[in-house]
Structures are given as structure tokens and as C-alpha cells.
Amino acid sequence: MKLYVYDAGQCDPKKCTAKKLARLGLVTSLTVMRKIPYKTIVLVPIAGKALSPSDRAVTNSITVFDCSWKKIDTFEDALMRMKRKKRALPYLIAANPVNYGKPFILSSVEAFAAALFILDEKEHAKLLLDKFKWGEEFLRLNEERLLAYAGAKDSREVIAMQKRFMEEENLFS
């Protein structure tokens, strides 16, 4: 599975997991949106559909949109116009030091690892996470959820599982 990251240039280079992965040659960094491969799946939190194992059949690459969580809204129009398959990751818990324990607010490496895991590229996910001291913690925190999502039939089933996990953890109260 090929990995790309669109770098919006908003991260602290010392903390940015995408920049580290690019330095290590594990992802290809892009700074121009039109260079994002056409058949890739672009992971963005504002997508209308959740990533599921069925997406494996339609792609051989994943692109993470790397920008500040506080500024994602500024890219919403451009992302929605983009003619690429956009997917959101389901409910997962961050393990990175900046957002530890927060739901949905994943670093780029966590997003890549989650997507790879769901698309049955578990070893590839582990390879990326091994580059970070806290990488194994991401898998530990999310093991049950990731295994469930990876066993889903389609996006609807992933959303149903997500809802169940969130209800169990009282996130709707």
C-alpha cells in the first residue's frame, strides 16, 4: 500500500508525525493538492463515509490530509470539491503525547496505522507505529475497535460498530 501525505504546512516540524515518516522514506509528502493520486483514499474527518475493509478493492494507496485540527475548516470547500474518494476514520482514541486519550483527534501516523489495520495491512501499520515510542500504545488502546472495524462488511457496519463503542463508553450522555 502506497502512502501519501498532503502537507498543509501547519505543523510543528519537531512534533509532526507525517514529517518524520517522510524523512524516514515511509510516506511521500505532497504540498500541492492536485498531485494527490486520483485513485487514492483521502482520510479526512469531514468525509461523508467511513473507511471500511470494502475500500481495499478500490485503491492501492492512502493519503492523509495533514493539517492542524483547529484549522481543518479552512480546507473544507477544497476537500469537498476534490474528486478523490474521501473517507473518515471511525471512533478511535489518540495515543500521541499531544492528544493522548482524546477520541477522534489522531496524529497522521495514527491515521495511517488505523487505515492500514482496517484494510488488512496490519504489519505495515505496526511498521509505522514502531517509529514512535508511544506507537504500540495506540494499538493497545484501540485493539478491540480496530479488530471490529477490520471485520466489518462495509461503511454502514463500521458506523454501527462506532455507535455501539461510543454508547458503551458513554460518549452520548
Q: What's the pLDDT at 82?
A: 66
Report residue 78 CA to chain centroid gap: 19
Cα–Cα separations (whole angstroms), residue 69 to 26, 52, 55, 98, 107: 23, 23, 25, 12, 10
What's the CA gap between 113 and 130, in Å, rounded?
10
**Overall domain count for the chain:** 1
Residue 139 C-alpha cell reads as: 494499538
164: in domain: yes
Which of 109, 99, 142, 125 is CA-nearest to residue 23?
A: 109
Percent pLDDT > 90 in the chain is 68
What's the CA gap between 157 and 83, in Å, rounded?
25
60: in domain: yes
Model confidence over 4-49: pLDDT tens digits? Answer: 998 887 777 777 899 999 999 999 999 888 898 888 999 988 788 9
Q: What domain range is 13 assigned to?
A: 2-168
Q: State the alpha helices, DSSP H only, in 46-173.
A: 76-81, 108-118, 122-129, 135-150, 155-168
Q: 67 or 163: which carries more pLDDT confidence?
A: 163
173: in domain: no
